[in-house]
Every structure is written in structure tokens, then in C-alpha cells.
Structure 1
């Protein structure tokens, strides 16, 4: 009796692409591995292009710092469903020319990270504000091109902002931050770090308007003083962490209030600070003698 022949001709690419391969296989692979599949064959190249056209998240850091400008423009030219876009590792070459087409066709973006993308201009932030009305989280750290007018545009059009990173956006002054706080009362996380223009006025306005604030970074804001930190303690009862390192006018008289509420601070209590300094200067290490 002849044995039944078993059909072994089924290949990976014979599986349904949109229903099986893209959502249940490719979506679990690191982006750099997916991109490398394009080299296998023209069929794999078509599969990868389908994946890139339908992916909800694009994180350039998964590709390292070697992502070419031409490759970036090609990879996302057909995508209109992005929800997360992280371009931190593209900071060396990313300009408005590359970013604007991606922003213009993706109206569902919720999270955008442009940290240190210094070659962009205020035009990019205006485009984000007009194209991404559902935006919740944006990182603009070290983007000194962010100015008051472009931030106002963002705040006016993006009504659901919950996290904003404005670290080292040195063009911004108190009035811009006050406008942000008045219009985006649902903000939970805000960084104003490394900005000598920010003073008590911005912090107090943030405290009084953003009652759901959980995380605030004021590192290096030299004009911030105890008065605004006390206002923060009074109004922001949900605060979980506060960074005030290098804020030389902020002392324990205000921080102690937050410390009693178990708010995480990046500054040690006075006694511990003194012991650390002493140890650094003379090599002294405090100890307790447990001998009886």
C-alpha cells in the first residue's frame, strides 16, 4: 500500500501577510531585524514595506545612529497610522524637509520624541500642532528653536497634552509656560529644566492650574525660589516627584513639606548632604559603633 505523500511545500511567505505575518510575527521582532529582512528577497522586501506602512510605532533608536536620511524618508512614506514616533537618534540630520511629510500624513500621533533634533525649526512644531490634534506626549528637550509662538500653536490645537518636555528650550520665558499651564490643565508631567529664564511666576501658575501634576523637573532653574515650591506643595496634591538640583534658592524650608508627603526629591536632606560633602572633602565616613 503506497504511502500518502505529505505536502511539505508550505513556506512562511505563503501565510496571510496582513492577518498573520504582520500582526503576529513581525510585530514582535526588533525593528532592525525587520529592516534586514529586505535583503533576503524582493518578496520579503514587499512584506517589510507592508509592515512599515501599517506599523503604529516607529522608534529610530532601535536602528542605532546609522539610519540614513534617504532610508527614513522611504520607510515611512506610505504610513498614515502612526501613534508613536521617536526620532532621537536622527538628530544629526533630521530637518523640516524629512519630518514634515511624515507629520502631514499622520493625524493619529499620540507620542512624539524629538529630543536634541536641533536642525528642525519652529515650522515643525506648528505642523505638529495642526496635524496631530490627539497628541498627548511630546519631548522637545534641547530644541532651542522652540519659541513662544510655536508653543502657543501647540497648546491651542493639541487639547489633550499630558506630558511635555521643554528641557533647555532657552527661548521660552515665564509667559510661554504660564500659557501652557492655563490651556493644558490636564498635564501630569512637565520638564522646564536647564532654563535660567524660568522663575517663580511660571511654577506658581503651573501649580495653580495643573492640579493633576505628578512629575516636575526644574533642574537648573536658578530663578526658582522657595515661594513657588510652597505653592506647588499646596495645590499639587498628586505630585510624585520633583527635581530641583542646582536650584540654589530652593531650600529645605519648602522641600521639607513635600518630603513629609513622600514626594521623591533629587536633593538629599540637609544632614545627609553635609555628610556626603564632608566625606568628599576629608574622606570621612560616618559609622555607628555597635560594640557593647
Structure 2
């Protein structure tokens, strides 16, 4: 069959038998989406010993999504590493039975992987820590092809950010929402190394302060979207640093950053000397220090501001 993309997401009738039939019959399949197919297990992907039942699609697959497939485990990852060598995009969001050791193996082995979603999996630093034995065997390039990673609500610390900075310099999109143990030190390491970052999500990262955001302003010239919502420790200084340094920014979310004042709006007001070339959307919803009158004045000067009121 010439089927290249198949989306079976949220289909309760999908079972291991269905998946095996797809993998056996769709030899040109490149994208397989199985989000929410809660009945499938690792067995759906295990090769049959008979040559007449080869899983032909595995060699052509480039994109797979298993979000909320709660029965999948490390055995699936082992299979993907061995049989699906062309994968560039994997989504394991909410697959809580896949743990650090499996992700570590994946990063070591899937050298062409470009996008990886590990959100809501309780992943820790162990998934990203390079062991001495890895280095002796030449695994310096762990995750080097990664362009995007989603670690939303993970149990990672600065150790993971140091690893990403070291091994993944081509990252363009990093989502770290609700990673409450990261600090400014890790953010500085990340933005210093990953100069191609276009999207950075630090929503509800409680330990981030003006120091870390200042580093984003200094090194995030390519940033297009930055989410600092619920970062309660940042002040107007952070916003000024972003306004000065992130010249390509298109969207800045500052929802419930309660220390901000009208000075944060002033940082983005255009003037003849520093007129921005990019359209910028600012979200100050929940920022009680921002006055409605100042917002209206800024809007008359061309700023696109959302306040939630």
C-alpha cells in the first residue's frame, strides 16, 4: 500500500492486531499517530519469527506518536531503536511506564532524532546523564540532531540543562513548563550553547529570576516565542532585558508575573531609533501592576497587548 500517513488517535477499537496489520501491510508508511489508543501494548510492535509476517512499515517510519498510550514500556523503545532507524520525531507524552533508562538508550541510539516529546512522564536527570562508559564507547553525540524537546512537568534539574547545552547545540524549541527544580544557572548554560532557540517555554518555573531572564536577553537573539508566565520572581528588569536583546520576538507571555509594572510596557514602546521589524504580541493577563490606562496608551502606539480583562 502507498499509505504514508495514518492517524488512529483516540480510536478505542484499535488493538495490537490492528497495529500489526498496519505495520505488515503499509510498507511506505511514514507517519503513525496512535495518541490515546489505550489498548495497545508492546506486543503490537514485536517482530514475528516468520518471514511471511515481517513488519514492513518499520523501516520507512519517520514520525510516531504514542501520547497517552499507558501500557507501553521500555520494550517498545528497544524495538524502535533496533527496527525503526529512520525515525526523526517521537511523542511519548504521558507514557508513564517508559522510564529514564529507556530514554537514555533512545538518545544514545537514535542519532537522527530531531523532535522528542517527553512531557508529563516524570523523567529525571538520569535520562540525560552521560555515563563514563558511554564516553569510552563514543557516545559523545547523544541527541546531537535534536531540534525540539518537550520536558513539560518533568523532575529534571540544571543537570539536564547542562547535558542539553553540551550535546544538543542545534535545539530550536525547548519546553520546560512546570519544571520546578531548574534555576538560572541551567538556563544560562542552555541559552549560551543553543543559539538557534526560537521557542522557549518556562511557564511556572518557580526558581527563575531576573538573572536567568537576563541571559535569555543576552543570547536569545533568534527567539520568536518566550513564555515566562507564572515566573513570580521576575521584575521589570527581565522584561527590559528581553526587549533589548530579543529582536525577533513575536510573542511574549507574562501571565501572572505579579511584580511587573507599567515599566514593562514602556520597554516595548516603539521609537524612531529602535522600531521593531517584527509584530509582537504581549500577554500581561493577571499582572496587577499593569494599569489599564497605560495599556490603552500603548495600544494607540501600535502594541498588541492582552490583559485578560
TM surpasses 0.5: yes
Give the shorter-chain TM-score range: 0.7 to 0.9
Question: What displacement does 1:47 show?
Answer: 6.7
Partner Cα separation in structure 1 for residue 177 and residue 54 of structure 2 = 36
Q: In the TM superposition, what is the alpha-carbon distance from 1:37 to its structure 2 partner? A: 3.4
How many residues get paired?
247
Q: 1:37 aligns with which of 18, 35, 39?
A: 18
Native 8 Å contact 2:255 2:284 kept in 1: yes
- Give the alignment's Cα RMSD to 1 decimal: 3.1
Q: Find the residue that maps to 1:112 and give its secondary structure.
A: strand
**Structure 2 length-normalised TM:** 0.70
Is the Cα contact below 8 Å between 2:23 and 2:55 reproduced in 1? no
Secondary structure of the 2:164 match is: helix
Q: Which moved more, 1:30-39 or 1:246-255?
A: 30-39
Partner of 1:18: none
Asked whether the equivalents of residues 197 and 223 of structure 1 are also in contact (C-alpha less than 8 Å), the reply is yes
Which of 291, 294, 303 is the aligned partner of 1:270?
291
* Compared CA separation, residues 255 and 52, structure 1 to 2 (3 A): farther
SS in 2 for 1:242: strand
For the residues of structure 2 that align with 1:43 and 1:239, how far apart are their CA atoms? 46
Deviation at 1:135, TM superposition (A): 0.8
Query: Which consecutive residues of structure 2, in runs of 5 or more, have no partner in the other structure?
Result: 26-47, 131-138, 271-275, 296-309
CA separation of 1:245 and 1:129: change in aligned 2, threshold 3 A: farther
Aligned equivalent of 1:179: 189
1:28 aligns with 2:5: yes
CA distance in 1, matches of 2:225, 2:178: 17
Larger radius of gyration: 1
**Higher fraction of helix:** 1
Report if the CA contact (8 A) 1:241-1:264 is conserved: yes
Q: Please show how residues 14-25 of structure 1 align to structure 2 within 5 Å.
A: 21=1, 24-25=2-3
Q: Structure 1: give runs of 5+ residues left out of the alignment.
A: 1-20, 275-292
- 1:150 is aligned to 160
1:265 and 1:41 mapped to 2: Cα distance?
A: 45
Conserved 8 A contact 1:57-1:82: yes
TM-superposed CA distance for 1:271, in Å, is 2.4
CA distance in 1, matches of 2:53, 2:249: 46
1:224-239 to structure 2, matched below 5 A, reads: 224-239=234-249
Say if 1:211 and 1:236, in contact at 8 Å, map to a contact too.
yes
Match of 1:282 in 2: none
Structure 1 pair 70–132 and aligned structure 2 pair: CA distance change class (3 A): closer
Q: Offset at 1:28? A: 2.2
Does the 8 Å contact 1:132/1:158 carry over to 2?
yes
Q: Is the 8 A contact 2:173 2:197 kept in 1?
A: yes
